[in-house]
Amino acid sequence: MLQLGSKVVIVADQFEQNLPIGEYGYIIAYDRNQDNVFDYVLRVPSANRNFLIPDEDVELEEVLIQEEVDRVEREALIDFALATHNEELFKRIMNGDAAEPEQESAAKEPLSPADFIRQVNLKAWI
């Protein structure tokens, strides 16, 4: 549930209400009626109107900005890897950071019984 006064962006028009998709608005009220499908009352300054909107049709502005930053950062890293012919970096970016499973496989090596008992005692002490 989003807070009152949150700045949100309309990302969809699920019920075809002619919502201004891509415009920002502010949550001014919750719709508490259980028989109603709408969750929020949204004030859109550019349209000078209030809209009843379900939760799926809006997204916080901060979340959308962070997703765009992540996308641009990933594209920049891909461009850098291609420009420097860094095949390892390119594969890691395209596969979603495959460097982490290599570290996990090293941790899954069989332990000697003495090492296993030492680790169990250490965890029990903590």
Which tens digit of pLDDT belongs to each residue from 46-60?
A: 999 999 999 999 999
In a domain, 22, yes or no: yes
Which residue range is the domain that position 35 belongs to?
7-60
pLDDT digits (tens, 9 = 90+) for 25-77: 999 999 888 888 999 999 999 999 999 999 999 999 999 999 999 999 999 99
Encoded tokens for 102: 């290599």
Asked if the structure places residue 85 within a domain, the reply is no
Looking up tokens 């959308």 gives 64
Domain count, the chain: 1
CATH code, domain with 42:
2.30.30.40
CB 60 within 8 A of CB 2: yes
Residue 57 contacts by C-beta under 8 Å, 6 or more apart in sequence? 10, 11, 12, 13, 14, 19
Q: How confident is the model at residue 125 (pLDDT cuts 50, 70, 90)?
A: low
How many residues appear in the chain?
126
